[in-house]
Amino acid sequence: MLLSLSPIILLVGLLSAAVQLFGADASYGPNQIALVIATGAAALVGLHRGLVWEDIQEALVSGIKVGMGPILILLAVGALIGSWILSGTVPAMIYHGVALLDPGLFYAASAVICALASISIGSSWTVAGTLGIGLIGIANSFGLSPALTAGAIISGAYFGDKLSPLSDTTNLAAACTGVDLFAHIRHMLWTTVPAFLIALTFFVLNSEEAARPPEEIEQLRLALAAEFDVSWYSLLPLAGMLGLVALRIPAYPAILISTLIGLLFALAFQSDAVLRYGLSLSAEGSSPMIRGLWTALFDGYKGSSADESLNNLLSKGGMASMLNTVWLIITALSLGGVLERTGILKQILDVALKRVKSTGDLVLATISGGVVTNILAADQFLAIALPGRLFTVAYDQRQLNRLNLSRSLEDSATLTSVLVPWNTCGAYMSATLGVATLDYLPYAVFNYVGPLVAITLAYLLIAQKPVSSSA
C-alpha cells in the first residue's frame, strides 16, 4: 500500500510546492510538470510489479484517449467564443442582460437560469460555454464577483445536468449499475433538491448591489451599441446552439455548427465591427474581413475601442486560449491511465471498502471513491464507471437497492469533478468562464453540499432503498 501511495504522496508534495513557488500561475505549467513527474513515479511502480514499458505506454495512450472528446470540445468552445463576440451574440447578451437582470438577485437568478437550461439540454458544459459566458460578462458589467458568478453558473448547470435524462453522466451512472434511468433520476431528488435549495439560499444571502453606478453601466451599454449591432437577432446563434443540443446533436459538431453560424452573422450584421477588427490586426495585407474572422477563431477577439473597460470585457476566446488547459488535461489523464493500469487506483478503493460496517459507511466509501478517482484519474466518466464496478457487490451483499449506488456515484463523481483543477471538468470550466478553479470552488455550493447531504441521509438511514423496493 505504501508503494501504491508513493506517486500520490509525491504528487501532493509537488502540487503544494508549485502553489508556494508560483501562486496563481501554478496552473500555467508548474502543475503540469508535477503531474508528469508523478506519472513517471507511477510507471516505476508498474515496472516494479512486472509490467513492461509497452504496458505503460498503452496505459498513457488509453488515459489520454478518454479525454480526446473533451479536448476537441474545449478547442471548439474557444473558437465559438471568438465567433460569438464578433457576431454580436455575446455583446447582445451583456447589453440586454444588464437591463433585465436585477443585480441584487443576480447570483440566484444565474443559478436558476443555468439549471433550467441544463435540464432541457442535459449538458453542463454547453450551458457554461453559452449562457455562462454571457452571465460572466454581465457580472463584470455590474462590477459583481466573477468567482461567485461562476459558482452560481456551475451550481445551476450541474443541478440540471444531474437530473436531465439527456445527460451523459446520468445515463452512464444508471447503465453501469443496471438500474432504470428514470428511477435513478427520481431517487436522486432526495439529495439533489435539498442541496440546490441550500445553494440558492447561499446565493440570495450573498446578494450584492452593483458596484458600478447606474451611469457607468449605461455608458457601457452605449459603448456596446456603438461597437456592435445588439438587436434581438444577434441572439439567434445562442437559440440555435441550444436547439441543436436539444435535438441530440452531439456537442462537438453542434458547437462547430454554432461557430460557423456566428461567422455568418458577423458577416451579415456586424460587417463594420469585423472590418475594424481586421484592420486593427495589421495595416498591411488584403482582405481585412477574412483576416478578422479567421483570427477570432484561433486567437479570439481583442478589443481596440476607446473604452478600455469594454476592451477588457470582450477580449477573450480563440482556440489558442485553450491550449494551456489542453496541456493540463493531457498530463492529468496520463497519470490517471497509469494509476488504473498498475492497479494503484483499485487498491485504494478496495481499502475504502474494507472499513465499511454500516449503510452510512458504504455511502461514505462510495462518495470518497468518486472524489478520489476524480482527483487521480482526472475524468468524471472514469470516476463513475470504476467505483460503479467495484462497489456493486457491496450494495448487493447489504441488500441495498443499486439505485442507492447510482445516486451516490452522481453525488460524488458528477458533482466534484468540477472542483478539481486538473480534472477535465474543472479545467474546462476554468478556461471557459475565465475564473480559476480554486477561486470559484468556495462558491460552487451545490457541488460540495450535494455529497454532504448524501452522506448525512445515509447515516440517518433516510431514503436508503432496500433491494426489494421498486422505484
Tens-place pLDDT, residues 381-422: 888 988 887 888 889 888 999 999 999 999 999 999 999 998
Residue 464 lies in a domain: no
- Going by C-alpha positions, the residue among 345, 379, 333, 382 that lies closest to residue 61 is 333
Structural domain harbouring 349: 2-66+323-459
283: pLDDT strictly greater than 70 = no
Q: What is the mean pLDDT of residues 275-300?
A: 87
Q: Are 199 and 76 members of one domain?
A: yes
Boundary-marking domain end, from 321, 345, 375: 321
Q: Are 212 and 336 members of one domain?
A: no
- Going by C-alpha positions, the residue among 362, 448, 441 that lies closest to residue 411 is 448
303: pLDDT strictly greater than 90 = no
Residue 171 lies in a domain: yes
470: pLDDT strictly greater than 70 = no
Q: Are 371 and 226 members of one domain?
A: no
Residue 470 lies in a domain: no
Digit-coded pLDDT (tens) for 341-389: 998 888 887 887 788 889 999 999 999 999 988 998 888 888 898 888 7
Burial (CB count <10 Å: 0-12, 13-18, 19+), residue 322: buried
pLDDT at 23: 79
Digit-coded pLDDT (tens) for 201-220: 999 999 998 888 888 888 88
Residue 357's SS3 state is: coil
Please list, in sequence order, all residues whose beta carbon lies within 8 angstroms of the beta carbon of residue 177, skipping any fewer than 6 positions away. 184, 388, 392, 402, 403, 405, 406, 409
Question: Which three cell numbers mark 257?
Answer: 455548427
Q: What is the mean pLDDT of residues 111-135?
A: 90
92: pLDDT strictly greater than 90 = yes
Tell me how many domains the chain contains: 2
Composition of the chain by helix, strand, coil, percent to 5? 80, 0, 20
Q: What is the mean pLDDT of residues 440-465?
A: 95
